[in-house]
Chains A and B, each alone.
Chain A
Amino acid sequence: MKKNKGKRLYWRRLDNSAKIFPISAGKKYSTVFRLSVVLKEKINQNVLKKAVIMALKQYKSFKVRMKSGFFWYYLEENQKSPIIEEEKDYPCQYINPKTNNNYLFKVTYFENKINIDIFHALTDGNSGSVFFKEIIYNYLELMYPEIFIEERRSRKINNTEYDTEDSYVKNYDRKAKSNASSKKAYILKGKKIKLGAVSAIHEIINLEDLKKESTKHGATITQYLTAVLIYSIYEANYKNNKSKKPIKVCIPVNLKKYFMSKTMSNFFSYITLVVNMKDRNMSTFEGILDFVKNDFKNMLKEEEIIKTMSANVKLGNNPFVRMIPLELKKLLVRLSYIEIRKYTTITFSNIGRFGIIGKYQDYIDYFLMLIAPESIEKIKCSSCSFENKMAFTFTSILDDNNIQKKFYNFLQENDIKVEIESNGVLDDISTKVK
């Protein structure tokens, strides 16, 4: 972040990945994700507000607002206080900066739950979870100052360093060639929920059971869940619609595992599994799992990841693209995005384990992650785990939950314990799943 003399506010450019989000986002395509924590006690609003303000002092990269330049948007220091409210909207809704003191994230609470909705232009799930954990630590320390005296002190000493560099530009390969698939994807069929509602169904999975089952098949948890998801889509939506298009699953990848980076800005890429359901063995779960395992192995190689990442960086760095005025960029991107989005059936993001320090764990029940669905990708999936609970979430604008039900039944049939939580939008159906 660039610091200016006197009273001038900090500002920084958007990272390569973030550039696209404010240009393409709107009420129907929010590009917002949510992280939630369910505590074992009711939330105190005033304490939560103090916790957020404290976290903003630690992570100044979140204390920003979006400003528009002539060619690109940029981030500028926000001098206002964040607004903390009781939850009253559907999850992952477009964050209107004007009603949110210009912040690009929104903290809400409901009973035992704290939510943070984050606009993707600000950061990705991985760095978002770091900021969210800071809020949780601050909240618990403020609630129980005597219990957390030691922890608070050691956290202050051991605070990890971070920056806001654009790690994409630093690590991309100019010569790498794109490996993107040119085939359009199968788009989930079905009526949409009315009145702009979003359904959230959380399948809280017993992690031990899940580990046992995926190890039995020689797969990782992400591979196993991806295969179950594809199988559920095939059985509950694809089979009856006689499509020839492949099911394409987009899986975000945390690039910090591949490159040294301390950035709190976006630093992720993705792999896309292209599953041709007409191929041999693809109508069985075992066939799908074998395909997923093999594809993960090939696509998660460093050179493949670099290819995808570099293609996106090259596009953002293209002198011609850079010279197009922002308003024209918006128009072009929004038009082209209608087509681009047809290349993915569903997104599944697993941000993995929420590592929480010692004593703090006693106050936490589980974590949730949600991604905003949109008119073409009508369902988006996400998961995260804490202790022995893995929360697999379906956020959907489809007016039926056949896929969710199939997914749930499949896990149950394979002796994996699952509990359901939902926001009640598809209430009659979600209670049936129970």
Chain B
Amino acid sequence: MIYPQKLNSKRNNLIVNLGLLIAIILIVINHFFKPYIPWAIIANSGIIYVWIILFYSIKKNINIAGHVLLQTIVLSILTVFIDYQLGFKLWSLDIIIPILIIIANITMFVLTIVSHKNFIKYAMYQLLISLFSILPIILYIENITHNKVMCIIASIISVLNLGLSLILCAKDLKETIIRKFHM
């Protein structure tokens, strides 16, 4: 005999099924009790957020900078969605997104100082976070948001962060760009 008797073929989707079940129950409850307030949609967007973070976190040895980027983007989308569901008073764009960008950049700033020798692992995420950090300025120029102070603070911190990365790890950034963009 050269093969095991029972070969594995089934895949376990417990997390997806459990989340799906909770989501359906919430929609049903919302439908019968207080259907004029869409709270189930907001709760379900939280479940989707948990799914994304959970699936990403399940992977072994996740790159910490990747986590920072993912959390920044997913939380931004989540807060904009909740804001939209509650009448779109722009608090997500005015305050939350700039705060998320500030936190992301400070985290990357610390990460660069603490482990700049391993910066090549974080370089691509650093570039993407810097790219995402332009968002408050674009929103301000386009007159979508009006919180100038938060926008300026977020921009200054992201420029400082990118500047530090360039000073300490310019070679790593260049190397990353060569690898990622080779044709």
Q: Which A residues fall within an 8 A CB radius of B? A: 4, 6-9, 11, 13, 36, 38, 67, 69-72, 74, 76, 80, 86-90, 98, 101, 110-113, 195-197, 200, 202, 322-323, 368, 421-425
Q: Jot down 14 A-B pairs with beta carbons below 8 A, ordered by A.
A: A11-B179, A69-B180, A69-B181, A70-B180, A71-B181, A71-B182, A86-B4, A87-B4, A89-B7, A90-B7, A110-B2, A111-B1, A195-B10, A322-B183
Most buried by A among B7, B117, B175: B7
Report if A424-B3 is in contact (Cβ < 8 Å); known contacts: A7-B118, A9-B120, A197-B9.
yes
> Which A residues are in CB contact (< 8 Å) with B172?
8
Q: Is the CB of B7 within 8 A of A72?
A: no
For residue B17, CB closer than 8 A to chain A, the reply is: no
B63 CB, nearest partner CB in chain A, Å: 11
Q: A69 to B182, alpha carbons, bound, how many Å?
A: 7
Q: Are B2 and A90 in contact (CB under 8 A)?
A: no
| Distance between Cα atoms of A86 and B1 in the complex (Å) | 14
Q: Does A72 contact B183, Cβ atoms closer than 8 Å?
A: yes
Interfacial chain B residues near A200, Cβ < 8 Å: 3
B34 within 8 A of A: no
Smallest Cβ-Cβ distance to A90: which chain B residue: B7
Q: Interface range on chain B: under 10, 10 to 19, 20 to 34, or 35 or more? A: 20 to 34
3 closest residue pairs by CB, A with B:
A423-B3, A69-B180, A322-B183
**Cα A181 to Cα B1 with chains together (Å):** 42
Residues of B within 8 A of A111 (CB): 1-2
B5, B118, B180 interface centre (most CB from chain A within 10 Å): B180
B-side contacts of A113, CB under 8 Å: 2
Are B7 and A423 in contact (CB-based, < 8 A)? Answer: yes
Besides A8-B120, A195-B10, 19 other A-B contacts (C-beta < 8 A): A6-B117, A8-B172, A36-B2, A69-B180, A69-B182, A76-B179, A80-B61, A88-B7, A89-B8, A89-B9, A98-B59, A110-B2, A111-B2, A113-B2, A202-B2, A322-B183, A421-B2, A422-B3, A423-B7
Instruction: Give bound CA distance, A197 to B1, whole Å.
Output: 18
A36 to B2, CA, bound (A): 10
Interfacial chain A residues near B10, Cβ < 8 Å: 195
Contacts of B57-71 to chain A: CB distance below 8 A? 59-61
Q: Are B3 and A196 in contact (CB under 8 A)?
A: no
Closest chain B residue to A5, Cβ basis: B171
Q: B45-86: contact bitstring with A at CB < 8 Å (1 yes, 0 no)?
A: 000000000000001110000000000000000000000000
| Chain B positions 3-47 with a Cβ under 8 Å from a chain A Cβ | 3-5, 7-10
What residues of B have a CB within 8 angstroms of the CB of A90 in the complex? 7, 9
Q: What's the least CB distance linking B79 to chain A, in Å?
A: 26
Q: Which residues of chain B come closer than 8 Å to A72, judged between CB atoms?
A: 182-183
B4, A88: Cβ atoms closer than 8 Å: yes
User: Which residues on the A side are within 8 Å of B1 (C-beta)?
Assistant: 111
Residues of A within 8 A of B183 (CB): 71-72, 322-323
Give the distance in Å from the alpha carbon of A6 to the alpha carbon of B169 in the complex: 12
Point out the residue from B3, B8, B181 that lies within 8 Å of A70, measured CB to CB.
Answer: B181
- Cα distance A36–B61 when bound, in Å? 30
Residue among B4, B5, B9, B180 making CB contact with A196, cutoff 8 Å: B9
CB distance from A278 to the nearest CB of B (A): 40
Residue of A nearest to B8 (CB): A88
Q: Is B7 within 8 A of A197, CB to CB?
A: yes
Residues of A within 8 A of B7 (CB): 88-90, 197, 423, 425
Interface residues in B130-183 by Cβ distance below 8 A to A read 172, 175, 179-183
Could you tell me the distance between the alpha carbons of A88 and B6 in the complex, rounded to whole angstroms? 8
CB pair A98–B180 under 8 Å, yes or no, is: no
A364 CB → nearest B CB, Å: 13
A169 to chain B, nearest CB (A): 13
Given A70-B181, A98-B60: A4 touches B175 (CB 8 Å cut-off): yes
* Complex Cα spacing A75 to B1, Å: 37
Closest to B1 in A: A111
What chain B residues lie within 8 Å of A7 (beta carbons)?
Answer: 117-118, 120
Distance to closest chain B CB from A248 (angstroms):
30
A7-B117, A90-B9 in contact; A74/B2 too (CB < 8 A)? no
Q: Which single residue of chain B is at the shortest CB-CB distance from A13?
A: B182
Provide the residues of chain A in CB contact with B61, threshold 8 Å.
Answer: 80
- Complex Cα gap A98–B183 (Å): 26
Chain B residue, CB-CB nearest to A98: B59
Partner of A110, one of B3, B59, B117: B3
CA distance A406 to B127 in the complex (A): 60
Chain A residue nearest in CB terms to B61: A80
A80 to B179, CA, bound (A): 20
CB nearest neighbor in B for A36 = B2
- B179 pairs with A112, CB closer than 8 A: no
Bound Cα distance from A30 to B24, whole angstroms? 35
Residues of B within 8 A of A13 (CB): 182
Contact between A74 and B179, CB atoms less than 8 A apart: yes
Contact status B3-A87, CB under 8 Å: yes
Residues on A with beta carbons closer than 8 Å to the beta carbon of B180: 69-70
Task: Determine the residue in chain B with the shortest Cβ distance to A319.
Answer: B183
Complex contacts, A323 vs chain B, CB 8 Å: 183
- Closest Cβ of chain A: how far from B22's Cβ, in Å? 26
CB distance from B62 to the nearest CB of A (A): 10
